[in-house]
């Protein structure tokens, strides 16, 4: 790796801003990740700068120059700007006054004190690779802590002692694991040791900040290495305890690895199956990757020792889905992500009922319907869940899944598999049976949905005949004339979503 940053791709806007501050009598430096990325040959639209100007002075210099600005970080000395580059790319710029922060060990937030020295500001940053600056507009590299050498060596160190750094901001321990995943860096032994000793301090960090670092880690180029760091240092025991718990288990399907190593391999294999930007699962895809990591977390809870020494994990898919949803809720994930990941965990074993004889058309329809919007991810998760060294077994499973996907494709050409509905909607059901909205309509709707699953699309006349025959067997059909069958007290069967409400017509 080069030992000097490549500034040839630096946007002219950066130098413009540097000249503005210099003309006003202030220092300005590009700092942190954007400088590191110049060494790596990358350019980011998010640019961080540091200066000896105060927030009010920053605004005075750049407010008219920028397209827009925001002041949400003012109490921390940060003013944000948005500026459209000549290339048309919108640059997000943050300019922060030199800091000399004093942290309260028991607080989640730093007590900010402004500083007057660039070198001192760099010394309070997380790692040496992020403690480099490029003075503007001269483009002089400032690297007092050997960040360029560490970058070349692929090593994560802290500018000061790691104990002081992690005491100042415990989230930096999560960042170390994240950079291992994103950049493939090794962690200096002193840093690794401090992380293990101080892992408990992560408990003062908000769930949202931990979640954001975890997402970046999972979506990195080397997520297996990042997860290993979390587990080795004990951080995972606090932020993702279901994963280190897997180290205690043995998997009866994959005897050559414990469940922990198997899960990491599935994570790697799932990431490798992501599609390009125009494909069905563009990578990096957090939902697929996290489901791959968590797919077997139900095994510790469901482990049973059978006669003869065998070990079983019955219904670990259902248990794992519940554990996954619970952990994601604790980490403040959005509901859509929780639903998608836990659904994948719940369905990851469904394919193993697909024997040599294949499935009936109705079983294939249910597989597609149950997967819903995560079907393409489920394809990839299921294929990734094969880590056996037995090539014959691996080939057999792969061929079987090829066959299932082909069955799905053939049925999809004949039917609308992605939106299976009964052949009659709620309005038609009520008109045919003379019902008002109520539980009986929901049960009729579910009956027709089952017919659709079992037999595929039916002509309208056949669907109506089947519904009349079903209704003739229901006690409501024989209700006295003065009784409204739509308001009967008979219990209603749940519909396909688990509710007993009348479906929309």
Domain boundary among 92, 127, 153: 153
Is 494 among the domain residues? no
The pLDDT of residue 296 is 96
Q: Residue 230: CA atoms inside 13 Å, Cβ hemisphere, count? A: 30
* Residues 146 and 181 both lie in one domain: no
- Residue 79: closest CA among 99, 65, 62, 91: 62
- Please say whether the beta carbons of 21 and 27 come within 8 A: yes
Q: What is d(CA 318, CA 300) in angstroms, rounded to the nearest whole number?
A: 13
* Residues 286 and 402 both lie in one domain: yes
* Residues 396 and 440 both lie in one domain: no
The pLDDT of residue 362 is 85
* Residues 22 and 12 both lie in one domain: yes
Q: What is d(CA 285, CA 277) in angstroms, rounded to the nearest whole number?
A: 11
* Residues 363 and 406 both lie in one domain: yes
User: The CATH number of the domain where 109 resides is what?
Assistant: 3.30.460.10
Structure tokens at 344: 């994948």
* Full-model pTM: 0.80
* Residues 186 and 260 both lie in one domain: no
- Please say whether the beta carbons of 85 and 129 come within 8 A: no
Bridge partners (DSSP) listed for residue 95: 49, 79
* Residues 62 and 137 both lie in one domain: yes
Q: What is d(CA 133, CA 31) in angstroms, rounded to the nearest whole number?
A: 4
Is 496 among the domain residues? no
Look at the chain and report how many structural domains it folds into. 4
Dihedral sign from CA coordinates of 182, 188, 194, 196: positive
For residue 127, give the DSSP letter: -
Domain boundary among 240, 262, 277: 240
The most distant pair of C-alpha atoms in the chain lies apart, rounded to whole Å, by 93
Q: What is d(CA 249, CA 218) in angstroms, rounded to the nearest whole number?
A: 23
Is 192 among the domain residues? yes
Is 246 among the domain residues? no
Is 210 among the domain residues? yes
Q: What is d(CA 221, CA 150) in angstroms, rounded to the nearest whole number?
A: 19
* Residues 66 and 134 both lie in one domain: yes
- Residue 331: closest CA among 249, 261, 242: 242
SS3 283: coil
Q: What is d(CA 69, CA 56) in angstroms, rounded to the nearest whole number?
A: 13
Domain boundary among 417, 445, 465: 417
- Residue 81: closest CA among 32, 24, 14, 25: 14
Tell me: cis bond preceding 137? Omega within 30 of 0 counts.
yes
* Residues 343 and 314 both lie in one domain: yes
Is 58 among the domain residues? yes
**Which domain range does residue 466 map to?**
421-487
The pLDDT of residue 355 is 66
Residues with Cβ < 8 Å from 352, sequence gap 6 or more? Answer: none
Token pair 């995560």 is found at 374
* Residues 135 and 61 both lie in one domain: yes
- Please say whether the beta carbons of 131 and 123 come within 8 A: yes
- Please say whether the beta carbons of 187 and 156 come within 8 A: yes
SS3 111: strand
- Please say whether the beta carbons of 49 and 31 come within 8 A: yes
User: The CATH number of the domain where 316 resides is what?
Assistant: 1.10.3210
At 37-86, the pLDDT tens digits run 999 988 888 999 999 999 999 999 999 999 999 998 898 899 999 999 88
User: The CATH number of the domain where 215 resides is what?
Assistant: 1.10.110.30
* Residues 8 and 102 both lie in one domain: yes
* Residues 97 and 169 both lie in one domain: no
Structure tokens at 406: 């082909």
Task: Judge residue 235's burial from the number of C-beta atoms within 10 Å of its C-beta, 0-12 exposed, 13-18 middle, 19 or more buried.
Answer: buried
- Please say whether the beta carbons of 250 and 311 come within 8 A: yes
The pLDDT of residue 108 is 57
Is 245 among the domain residues? no
Is 493 among the domain residues? no
The pLDDT of residue 246 is 94
Angular region, 437: left φ>0, alpha ψ -120 to 50, beta rest:
beta
Residues of the chain with pLDDT under 50: 251-256, 481-483, 486-505
Residues with Cβ < 8 Å from 262, sequence gap 6 or more? Answer: 251, 254, 296, 387
């Amino acid at each position: 790796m080069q030992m000097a940053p490549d500034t040839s791709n630096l946007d002219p806007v950066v130098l413009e801003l540097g000249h503005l501050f210099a003309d006003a009598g202030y220092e300005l430096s590009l700092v942190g990740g954007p400088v590191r990325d110049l060494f790596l040959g990358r350019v980011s639209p998010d640019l961080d700068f540091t200066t000896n100007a105060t927030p009010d002075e920053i605004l005075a210099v750049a407010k008219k120059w920028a397209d827009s600005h925001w002041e949400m970080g003012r109490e921390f000395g940060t003013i944000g700007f948005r500026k459209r580059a000549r290339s048309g790319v919108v640059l997000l710029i943050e300019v922060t006054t030199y800091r000399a922060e004093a942290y309260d060990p028991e607080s989640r937030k730093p007590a900010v004190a402004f500083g007057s020295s660039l070198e001192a500001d760099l010394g309070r940053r997380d790692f040496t690779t992020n403690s480099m600056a490029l003075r503007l507009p001269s483009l002089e590299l400032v690297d007092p802590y050997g960040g360029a050498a560490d970058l070349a060596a692929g090593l994560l160190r802290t500018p000061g002692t790691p104990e002081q750094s992690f005491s100042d901001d415990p989230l930096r321990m999560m960042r170390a694991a994240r950079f291992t995943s994103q950049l493939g860096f090794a962690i200096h032994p002193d840093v690794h040791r401090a992380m293990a000793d101080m892992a408990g301090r992560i408990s003062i960090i908000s769930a949202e900040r931990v979640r954001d670092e975890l997402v970046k880690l999972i979506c990195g180029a080397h997520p297996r290495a990042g997860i290993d760091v979390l587990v080795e240092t004990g951080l995972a025991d606090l932020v993702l305890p279901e994963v280190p718990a897997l180290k205690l288990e043995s998997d009866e399907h994959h005897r050559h690895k414990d469940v922990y190593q198997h899960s990491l391999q599935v994570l790697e294999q799932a990431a490798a199956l992501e599609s390009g930007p125009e494909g069905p699962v563009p990578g990096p895809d957090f939902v697929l990757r996290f489901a791959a990591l968590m797919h077997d977390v139900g095994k510790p809870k469901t482990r049973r020792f059978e006669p003869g020494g065998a070990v079983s994990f019955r219904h670990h898919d259902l248990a794992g889905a519940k554990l996954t949803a619970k952990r994601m809720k604790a980490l403040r994930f959005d509901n859509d992500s929780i639903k998608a990941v836990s659904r994948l965990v719940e369905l990851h074993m469904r394919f193993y009922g697909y024997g040599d004889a294949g499935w009936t058309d109705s079983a294939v329809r249910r597989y597609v319907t149950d997967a819903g919007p995560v079907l393409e991810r489920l394809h990839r998760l299921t294929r990734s869940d094969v880590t056996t060294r037995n090539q014959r077994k691996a080939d057999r499973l792969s061929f079987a899944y090829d066959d299932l996907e082909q069955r799905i494709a053939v049925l999809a050409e004949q039917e609308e598999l992605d939106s299976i509905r009964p052949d009659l909607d709620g309005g038609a059901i009520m008109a045919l049976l003379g019902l008002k909205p109520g539980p009986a309509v929901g049960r009729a709707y579910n009956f027709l949905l089952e017919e659709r699953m079992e037999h595929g699309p039916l002509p309208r006349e056949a669907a109506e005949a089947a519904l009349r025959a079903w209704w003739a067997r229901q006690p409501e059909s024989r209700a006295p004339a003065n009784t409204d069958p739509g308001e009967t007290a008979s219990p209603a069967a749940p519909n396909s979503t688990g509710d007993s409400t009348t479906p929309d017509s």
